[in-house]
């Protein structure tokens, strides 16, 4: 999923979702924290557009919980325009804060900018590992590593969330998709293959760590 829209105003949510889908994004919507976090855990998201004033648990709490487990970009959109609210949202890890009412063209431009900055970069560097996204090439110690498409996507996801524990469900749904015919066990297999290619000793991994009962963490 590209964008998770968390908004309790159904009309506003529907309008934004329609515009995003017209731009080619895959979108899901949630009207409260429970549904938002459930959707995020099951399907992942490349961006969360987050309202603050929600029924029950507020958007600040959602922002904090998402930021604990991933670097997913978060764009807060709220009628709360005070400096204190903006600072709280940004300090909790939001990437940007927009005031309501907003111009839909400016909103789409901000979202497009976030995707361009976060996901369109040509390369990643982590120690002795260099990744060229355009050529889909991975080089370690000046040697090119042969990788399948899923191994490549998995490595990028882990590196982009370096230092954060990602649940198995989140990783699987992000890489394979919630409607994939594959089973979650395939993630374990791909982690094993990836370790064989980037770890000095795959049996004693130093980069891709298993967090028992939860998932994996890249350090």
What pLDDT digit, counting tens, does each position of 151-160 carry?
A: 999 999 999 8
**Whole-number pLDDT of residue 177:** 75
Joined together, the tokens standing for residue 2 give: 């590209």
Q: How confident is the model at residue 46 (pLDDT cuts 50, 70, 90)?
A: confident
Q: Is 88 in the same domain as 156?
A: no
The answer to whether residue 1 scores a pLDDT higher than 80 is no
* CATH number of the domain residue 184 falls in: 1.10.10.10
Segments forming the whole domain that contains residue 85 = 3-119
With a pLDDT cut of 70, the percent of the chain lying above it is 96
pLDDT in tens, 8-21: 999 999 999 999 99
Please report, for residues 15, 43, 69, 169, 200, the alpha-carbon distance to residue 10 in angstroms, rounded to integers and kept in the order given.
Answer: 9, 21, 28, 28, 52
Joined together, the tokens standing for residue 156 give: 């990028």
With a pLDDT cut of 90, the percent of the chain lying above it is 62
Q: What is the pTM of this model?
A: 0.66
The helix (run of H) or strand (run of E) holding residue 124 is: strand 123-126
Q: Please check whether residue 55 lies inside any domain of the structure.
A: yes
Which residues neighbour 159 within 8 Å (Cβ) at sequence distance 6 or greater?
124, 126, 129, 131, 218
Q: Please check whether residue 86 lies inside any domain of the structure.
A: yes
**Whole-number pLDDT of residue 180:** 58
Q: Please check whether residue 87 lies inside any domain of the structure.
A: yes
Q: Is 83 in the same domain as 27?
A: yes
* CATH number of the domain residue 108 falls in: 3.40.50.2300
- Pick the closest to residue 79 from 25, 147, 9 (CA basis): 9
- What is the number of structural domains in the chain? 2
User: CA–CA separation, 167 vs 158, rounded Å?
Assistant: 11
Which residues neighbour 171 within 8 Å (Cβ) at sequence distance 6 or greater?
154, 157, 187, 215, 216
The answer to whether residue 195 scores a pLDDT higher than 90 is yes
Average pLDDT, the chain: 89
Q: Please check whether residue 138 lies inside any domain of the structure.
A: no
pLDDT in tens, 92-127: 989 999 999 999 999 999 998 888 877 766 678 888
């Amino acid at each position: 999923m590209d964008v998770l829209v968390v908004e309790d105003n159904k009309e506003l949510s529907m309008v934004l979702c329609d515009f995003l889908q017209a731009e080619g994004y895959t979108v899901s919507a949630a009207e409260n924290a429970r549904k938002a976090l459930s959707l995020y855990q099951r399907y992942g998201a490349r961006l969360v557009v987050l309202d603050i004033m929600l029924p029950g648990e507020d958007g600040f709490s959602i922002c904090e919980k998402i930021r604990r487990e991933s670097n997913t970009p978060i764009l807060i959109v709220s009628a709360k325009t005070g400096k204190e609210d903006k600072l709280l949202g940004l300090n909790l890890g939001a990437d940007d804060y927009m005031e309501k009412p907003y111009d839909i063209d400016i909103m789409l431009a901000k979202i497009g900018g976030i995707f361009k900055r976060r996901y369109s970069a040509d390369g990643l560097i982590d120690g002795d590992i260099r990744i060229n996204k355009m050529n889909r090439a991975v080089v370690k110690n000046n040697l090119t590593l042969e990788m399948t498409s899923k191994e490549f996507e998995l490595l990028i996801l882990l590196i982009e969330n370096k230092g954060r524990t990602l649940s198995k469900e989140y990783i699987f749904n992000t890489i394979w998709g919630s409607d994939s015919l594959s089973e979650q066990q395939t993630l374990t297999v791909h982690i094993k293959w990836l370790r064989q290619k980037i770890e000095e000793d795959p049996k004693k991994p130093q980069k891709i760590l298993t967090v028992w009962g939860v998932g994996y963490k890249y350090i």
